[in-house]
Structure 1
Amino acid sequence: MILGIGTDLCNIDRIQGTLDRFGDRFRNRVFTELEQRKAERRADTAGTYAKRWAAKEACSKALGTGLRMGIAWRDMGVANLRTGQPVMHLTGWAADRLAQMTPEGHEAIVHVTLTDDHPWAQAFVVIEARPLSARASEAPET
């Protein structure tokens, strides 16, 4: 079942201006160390940051909170699988909120997709609850 859906559209030039104006103060407040390492290795640094900004906004919407109620920017982080597929990692209050949303007997899966076409970066987040395996939830008889 779908627990939440979020989307966000971010202007890459706006992120570039914020990076130019605030530099590390902005990076360290919003992005995880892993996100910063990824972005700083890319030719389109601002575009990489903008996609991750959009993913965090979209994730907060999918969690049903927006960026309020205690969620910190760094509680949501985008990483990539070896295939390049983005994945969202939640910690802190965002992870707590996800646990509250997840029905008993289910596991939460956070799906994220990112795209950009200058000057825009976009992200979609879908939070899915999947039933736990019947075998895993059954205790063996003795």
Structure 2
Amino acid sequence: MIVGVGVDLCRVDRIRRSVDRFGKDWLDEVFTDAEQARLGPGEQLVQRAAMGFALKEACSKTIGTGFAGGNRRHNFLVNIDGLGCSIRLTGAARRRAVNLCGTSALVQLRTHIRSTAWVSALAVLEVGSSRSWIGCTDLLSLLPD
């Protein structure tokens, strides 16, 4: 059963301008130090930052709160590499997902990202599905804290 769906569309040039203008301050607002270490250098950093930003936005929508109710971008931890991406919910975001789905249910967060001059991110929060999902780049089981 699908509990929540989130979609985000982000322009890579917008992220480039933010990184150029605000640098580390902007990166610190959006990403943890560990996430930043995996972004890479130069243009790779910009592309991966755009992907991570869009994915965090999409995932915040799946739990129905956005970045309210104690949720921050640092509660949505992304890992982007050449093979795809993964995301892990922590803190208030994780608690909200578990509350939506029930603590005894298998909760799956499925994500898919496409990237060009624009980055699009799709996140689906599901309970109790074991079927495969075409285009899925991450399948994550969430357990209660």
TM-score if structure 1 supplies the norm length? 0.82
Could you tell me which of 120, 123, 127 is aligned with 2:121? 123
SS in 2 for 1:40: coil
CA RMSD of aligned residues (A): 2.1
Q: Do residues 18 (structure 1) and 18 (structure 2) align? A: yes
* Aligned equivalents of 2:80, 2:44: Cα separation in 1: 16
* Aligned equivalents of 2:80, 2:58: Cα separation in 1: 17
Asked if the contact 2:38–2:80 (Cα under 8 Å) also holds between the matched residues in 1, the reply is no
Aligned to 2:96: 97
* Aligned equivalents of 1:46, 1:79: Cα separation in 2: 14
Aligned to 2:85: 86
Give CA-to-partner distance per residue, 1:10-48, whole Å, 9 cap, x none: 011111111111111111111123321221247422111
The unaligned stretches of length 5 or more in structure 2 are 130-145
Aligned to 2:7: 7
| Number of equivalences | 130
SS in 1 for 2:47: helix
Letter of the 1:89 partner, please give it. R
TM-score if structure 2 supplies the norm length? 0.81
Aligned to 1:111: 110
* Aligned equivalents of 1:9, 1:54: Cα separation in 2: 6
Give CA-to-partner distance per residue, 1:46-87, whole Å, 9 cap, x none: 111011100011001111112222110110011258x82422
* Aligned equivalents of 2:64, 2:27: Cα separation in 1: 25
State the shift of 1:4 in Å. Answer: 0.6
State the shift of 1:103 in Å. Answer: 2.6
Letter of the 1:88 partner, please give it. I
Asked if the contact 2:48–2:80 (Cα under 8 Å) also holds between the matched residues in 1, the reply is no
- Structure 1 stretches of 4+ with a deviation exceeding 2 A read 32-35, 40-44
